Amino acid sequence: MHALAQDPVRVPAPIAGRLAVTAVVAIAEAAHLAWEATHGGIVSHHMLGDPSMPAMWNGWGLLVLPAIAWFASARLVHSSGGSWRLQPAALLRLAAAMCAGIAMSAAFAAGRSDIAGYVLLGIALSGLFVRVYRIEYLLGFALGMAYTFGALIPTIIGAAIALASAAIWFGPWRMVRYVVRRAGR
């Protein structure tokens, strides 16, 4: 018997969990792109729907979404005692962002760009009160919108919202919390 057959490679639990999350996202995106390829070709989208802007090919989602999933899986997966499990709080944040992305996509696909704009505004404003700079929010938002807009446009929009949220949470909110703590002494 071959030596490799006797000793299977054991992947540490945290890595196995992260690989599992990344694989699920990669397989889902590959299935989406395979469906597009067999139904007229893989689509490209223009930023803001403006044909004068460069087109972004959906095929890039096969690199972008698994990469985001790999980084997000560090927060999504908890390991202990040689096994791993998903973190419920991080999974809830991912699901909430995915629902927001789906709502925005559905409104846009239904021709209600005004409602899509309101959803986007709500997501951006929620960054004042919720730490939407966390990577699981970006992954959920991009996954929720990937079917309608591809992966790149939602990732760019989500990253801009995440940066604004981080600037607020690590800037003004941090100063406000400091002043409140000092005043309470």
Enter the pTM of the model. Answer: 0.83
d(CA 150, CA 168): 28
Task: Give just the sign of the alpha carbon dihedral 174, 178, 181, 184.
Answer: negative
- Binned at pLDDT 50, 70 and 90, residue 125 comes out as very high
Bridge partners of residue 56, in order along the sequence: 45
**Which pLDDT score, from 0 to 100, does residue 122 have?**
93
Residue 87: the pLDDT is 83
The answer, yes or no, to whether residue 67 has pLDDT greater than 70, is: yes
Q: What would the two tokens of residue 21 be?
A: 């999350």
pLDDT of residue 5: 53
pLDDT digits (tens, 9 = 90+) for 18-54: 888 899 999 999 999 999 899 888 888 877 777 888 8
**DSSP-assigned beta bridge partners for residue 85:** 78
pLDDT (tens digit per residue) in 68-93: 999 998 888 877 666 778 888 999 99
Question: Pick from 89, 86, 93, 141: which is nearest to 119 by CA?
Answer: 141
Region of poorest pLDDT, from 10-19, 146-155, 171-180:
10-19
Q: Which residue has the tokens 């929009």?
A: 157
Arithmetic mean of pLDDT over the chain: 86
d(CA 125, CA 165): 9
**Domain ranges within the chain, ordered by starting residue:** 3-183
pLDDT band at 177; cut points 50, 70, 90? confident
Identify which of 141, 166, 168, 135 has the alpha carbon closest to the alpha carbon of residue 155.
141
